[in-house]
A and B are shown apart, each in its own frame.
Chain A
């Protein structure tokens, strides 16, 4: 694969900040002290709601914007002051930004021509990379004649043909329909693996992030709030924000009844449940929030033993491979998802059920409302 071969380098974003003057709020931070370490060949995704600073961070890595503070390094080399056209990056925009006046061939060849490569090498490399993205034979078409998915592939080809040191994606799939989006994210992932190009990818879609990334950095209000694999974020969220942003979740208020290392017992919903705490320093009587994923809640028919958790079925939604329930339980509403329930399972609306949580599936977080108040 000659279209590929560059050795992978890491990308370090070291305490980078970017401020803007805002008309109402005065000076605001689009990015605040962002620290990221992308390992060579790694696929890192910046995930967060709109306005969280993920695109600003990406554009600073690209060199489109200059940070007000902090350094950016490519493989140890400080590139902070370098403009985008000297960084040797591949960038894929959400709207593809294909040159409408150039053919597909010329679009992909653009970066090679800028680098002054001889015509026959340009031809062979463009041919190779178009074959790689499955667009051989499209050379003479124009972007207006292509479908959204094809345009996306051209944008990808144009970004990788220059053998960039870093590949950057800014929400590349959000203009595609749902089915194509799933297909394209596999293609992007495959290609990135094959080429082993260090990649930073921006999205607000948590499912997309989980599908493509080696690691995910969740951002909120200009800062990275948690970094880890998809499993880390899902099963061990460090904050309510991450818990709510990554996957669906029940947040249940509680109070620490007993601690023993990582395992704790929490009073919640009128009973005592087992859980694990990621925070040191939680003591008896502290108010906390339990993070319980909908699929971690077990349901059994009928009234249970004393001390068990009773609930009433509010609604039942059949979705094919799974059934979703809303339960009323000690004044709270719980979401429950049951997979592989079998045709026999019927918890009718209004039925009484007994629910239970698996202790290792419940995460304890300090109560955000109480957090920051002295000794709440």
Chain B
């Protein structure tokens, strides 16, 4: 064989399916996707539509005719819509102030930090703080206002808690969009005689509409999937679908009913996902053309309005910070609302009784993190840079577990891996797999986005300078996608620490999670340890984010997506 290595590598770079390494990787990924994405979902449908091997729609019919469940369905939609509207409004307020308020750097950092806090916390930290503040013995309702016998549970507090938890997603979606609106366009409208308010109404706002729609849909989906907040705050007067599905399974041991409920949840979730991906994303305006505004962009808000906006943002930020300060405080006193003596007892409890949960969570996160990061980069690289049959399908399938509400994924895994041949229930593997395939897609998206930014000419330039394709991959492509790898890694870790909606169905005596323990603590009304656990998670996550931020800065990749932006959507 006169086979020169150059010829072999050239085939490699052209991405033909002949490459055995690529073919093997594609096959392996398809197997994994089939096993951990397609198979569980298929089993979910099968369980819902069969009864001891015969086809039946009885399960779904029971749900659709049960007035309680129908109410849960409409409640879910109502809650999601309200969270979508409120959260988008809050996010827009922050994004607009950040993009147009000419804030000094220090102030921007504070805004970003207060927005980051809810994003990296376990999903029900604001819910706990709500109970601490507005519960029957709440700091505000009882101690400050002296009200007796108030109930915190219901739509209002659930909405408030979810809006505060999820508005950062809207902020992260809207800020780049507002920042990208060329301020010359606003300046132009202004010079044509329009007042600032009219400029905002007729130019800025219409240009932000696709972003607003996108933010609304993301929040709608987040609220629809949220399981922990309503479980704690909604109470029995306001049932919603994810909690109903949970109770159906853990309370009544009715897997089929749970499957049917989660299917009902799937329909709006899927509609929202498709709307967001295929309708809204095509409606963005390109407003950057040629030279943008000079060193001094147009002042689109007057000083008075700027101060009003700043005050509004400050108020929200103060509420967020107050909630977290309260959480920290609650973790350090005997019993908030009753006995405010300083103590480290709650921390002692979580490091003794809770030690297993902490150890398990860290082990699971420790395995899920590198595997999830690798999975994201590999799949992202293959679908963008290589040509093989079913490339688009692979990308779409990989997004399924990410797009579905966690409750559905959790129930599907529970059904699929409960029996032989694939009996994984009770192992750590089932939780790790769930995290990899549910949160790895963030890494896929980051990789695809980065690779699309890398112009073909960059790799061609390297080859033109005499580098072979392996050298090109090693010296050009790889360094450019490393930021995506670390970003994907970070997201998988953070979510492994904070997620609950899917994995609550997958924990066992052998393997449990901090978030599950927090939930148990809350239901047992031992709020001190719950607060201490939450503080611990926030601290761990912040440390890891800071570490990954450092690593990302080391690479100083121009296209690197900031860590926080990946936590949205």
Contacts and interface: CB of A to CB of B under 8 A. Distances in A.
Do A and B actually bind? yes
A353 B192 CA distance: 61
B190 to A, nearest CB: 5
Contacts of B146: none
A99 B189 contact: yes
Contacts of A110: 189, 192, 194, 202
Nearest to B195: A85
Interface stretch (A86-94, A282-290, A355-363): A86-94
22 contacts: A64-B187, A64-B190, A64-B296, A64-B298, A83-B190, A84-B190, A84-B191, A85-B192, A85-B195, A86-B193, A94-B291, A97-B184, A97-B187, A99-B203, A100-B285, A100-B286, A101-B203, A101-B206, A110-B192, A110-B202, A158-B188, A175-B289
B191 to A, nearest CB: 4
Contacts of A98: 185
A312 interface: no
B479 interface: no
B387 interface: no
Interface string A26-49: 000000000000000000000000
A78 B382 CA distance: 65
Contact of B188 (A86, A97, A171): A97
Interface string A170-189: 01001100000000000000
Contacts of A63: 191
A87 B292 CA distance: 23
Contacts of A162: 192-193
B424 to A, nearest CB: 51
B315 interface: no
A62 interface: yes
A101 B209 CA distance: 10
Nearest to B203: A99
A55 interface: yes
A234 interface: no
Contacts of A85: 190-196
A151 to B, nearest CB: 8
B207 interface: yes
Interface in B189-215: 189-196, 198, 202-203, 206-207, 209
Contacts of B185: 97-100
A83 B302 CA distance: 11
A171 B291 CA distance: 10
Interface residues of A, number: 35
A114 B194 contact: yes
A197 to B, nearest CB: 14
Contacts of A144: 286
A19 to B, nearest CB: 12
A101 B285 CA distance: 7
A219 B195 CA distance: 33
A169 interface: no
Contact of B289 (A20, A65, A96): A96
Interface of B: 182, 184-185, 187-196, 198, 202-203, 206-207, 209, 285-287, 289-292, 294-296, 298
Given A65-B296, A101-B207, A114-B198, A95 B191 contact: no
B188 A93 contact: yes
B212 to A, nearest CB: 13
Given A93-B188, A97-B187, 15 more contacts: A59-B296, A84-B191, A85-B190, A86-B193, A87-B191, A88-B193, A95-B182, A95-B289, A95-B290, A100-B286, A101-B285, A111-B192, A158-B192, A162-B192, A174-B291
B187 A84 contact: yes
Contacts of A158: 188, 192
Nearest to A115: B193
Contacts of B182: 95, 97
Given A97-B185, A100-B287, A144-B286, A91 B191 contact: yes
B282 to A, nearest CB: 13
Contacts of A89: 191
A116 to B, nearest CB: 10
A152 to B, nearest CB: 11
A94 B285 contact: no
A95 B292 contact: yes
Contacts of B203: 99, 101
Contacts of A174: 290-291
A90 B193 CA distance: 10
Given A89-B191, A101-B285, A94 B290 contact: yes
Contacts of B290: 94-96, 174-175
B209 to A, nearest CB: 8
A20 B295 CA distance: 10
Contacts of A115: 193
A4 B20 CA distance: 72
A225 to B, nearest CB: 21
Nearest to A161: B192
Contacts of B191: 62-64, 84-85, 87, 89-91
B191, B207, B290, B291: which has the most chain A beta carbons within 10 Å? B191
Nearest to B285: A100
Contacts of B192: 85, 110-111, 114, 158, 162
Contacts of A59: 294, 296
Given A84-B191, A95-B182, A162-B193, A175 B207 contact: no
Nearest to B299: A64
B184 A95 contact: yes
Contacts of A114: 189, 192-194, 198
Contact of A95 (B202, B291, B295): B291
Nearest to B196: A85
